[in-house]
Amino acid sequence: MAQQRDQPNSEKISCSICLDLLKDPVTTSCGHSYCMDCIKTHWDGEGGKRIYSCPQCRKTFKRRPDLQKNILLAELVEELKKTGLQAAANICSRHDKMMEIFCGNDQQLICFLCAMDEHKGHKIVPAAVERMKKQKELEVSRLNIQQRIQDRQKDVKLLQQELEDIRVSADKTVEDSKEMFTEMIRVKEVKEKLEKEIRDLKRKDTEHLEDVTAAVKELRGKLQDILKETWTNISLTITQPDVLLSEPQPEPKTRDEFLKYSTEITLDPNTAHRYVLLSAGNRKATLREQKQRYPDHPDRFTGSWQVLSRESLTGRCYWEVEWSGLGVVVAVAYKNICRKGNSDKCEFGRNDRSWSLRCGPNRYKFSYNNTKTPVSGPRSSRIGVYLDHRAGILSFYSISETMTLLHRVQTTFTEPLHAGVYLFSDGGWLFSSGATAEFLKLR
């Protein structure tokens, strides 16, 4: 009853001319209120008599009154409209009762008649209780996110400090090693000069190919001798700073040790070929017969059925790929690998921008810069990949009940890397047995 007394009375704030809720309400000097357009129209009709009257009490005015909008009355009208809309939203369309109960089975608001009928036996609670529960869950989620943000900010500060320490150490090295860099510049000039001679020789007529090859070998030998001798002299005379001489950390041996460096990989939809479907939160790639409706993007592969990760990889990382179908290629690549067409510059393992392991039902094959190396090892549908970017180590493992090293690369990585997969089909354009590859969650 108290609630009804507090709500505005729609009859008291209705226009006596149009009988609807007041619109732009105005009040005459006799105290009666009308819609502005309604009273104006009424007085326009009385204009010929030069006497203006109130439609309710018939009080007359010799001069047409000036009208001012009644702000308080306008606010009451808006309150009544909102009250009506809110009440309508909480009324059961089936039983015309207030929906004050929440059904946990169907995740919806219901009235007490619904609870005794079609929702009988379901888990039900008062709507206010469920609303409080959801608010608490949202608050816990918000606090967790804030904590994660703070943790990431701390990690960033530590990395920034690390970078600053390295920069200071490098500056000191430059200051103390001017002679070393002068010598290195000289070696570089010699190297560039000899490489230019090699390029000039290669451009000669193919009829002299054997002579050119012999000359190239001779110049290459000279270059290697000069570089070896010069670098040996530099190494003997220059002492590297402590930060550069620190002993590398031992490589993991057991799967538990590898899992300490597990990294969650997600695939970048902007790089996926249009026949590659991404799913499972962009962790799974599947070769499909139908083209996907991906938008145009400069990072997208247009000729090779492959995709790269969203994350760039540095430091120590470990991840695992579960595959099925005819075969897949598990790879890492620099971000600036070619994307357009199906040339060797784009496909994983066929250029100097990527390293790959081809996994098939009966064999493995490692590829880099179009050089293929057969790999022996137990067949498995799960491949583990370990990367130590700073140490230049890339290793592939067969994962089953045991963890077996398939191939290990020792090189120098000059840029951050991205994980990737290439998917094989059964041939042609049918894709009836197109491959799948999923980057697993290891934590």
Per-residue pLDDT tens digits for 367-401: 999 999 999 999 999 999 999 999 999 999 999 98
pLDDT at 245: 40
pLDDT at 63: 85
pLDDT at 16: 84
Per-residue pLDDT tens digits for 143-163: 887 898 788 889 889 989 988
Q: Inform me whether the pLDDT recorded for 169 exceeds 50.
A: yes
pLDDT at 200: 84
How far, in Å, CA of 373 to CA of 381, rounded? Answer: 20
pLDDT at 118: 86
For 188, the token pair is 């570089």
pTM of the model: 0.47
Average pLDDT over residues 124-153: 85
Average pLDDT over residues 171-177: 76
pLDDT at 3: 42
Q: Inform me whether the pLDDT recorded for 67 exceeds 90.
A: no
> What b/e readout covers 66-98, taking b as 16+ CB neighbours within 10 angstroms?
eeeebeebbebbeebeeeeeeeeeeebeeeeee
Question: If you average pLDDT over each of 91-100, 337-346, 412-421, which comes out highest?
Answer: 412-421
- CATH topology for the 2-89 domain: Herpes Virus-1 (3.30.40)
Enumerate the domain spans of the chain.
2-89, 175-242, 255-439
Average pLDDT over residues 53-70: 86
pLDDT at 146: 82
pLDDT at 226: 65
Average pLDDT over residues 353-380: 95
pLDDT at 9: 57
How far, in Å, CA of 407 to CA of 226, rounded? Answer: 33
Q: Inform me whether the pLDDT recorded for 74 exceeds 50.
A: yes
Per-residue pLDDT tens digits for 395-433: 999 999 899 999 999 999 999 999 999 999 865 444 545
Per-residue pLDDT tens digits for 5-60: 444 555 667 888 888 888 899 998 888 899 999 988 988 887 667 788 898 898 88
pLDDT at 91: 82
Per-residue pLDDT tens digits for 199-214: 888 877 666 666 666 6
Q: Inform me whether the pLDDT recorded for 121 exceeds 80.
A: yes
Q: Which CATH superfamily is domain 255-439 in?
A: SPRY domain (2.60.120.920)
Per-residue pLDDT tens digits for 212-255: 666 667 677 667 656 655 544 444 344 333 334 445 578 899 99
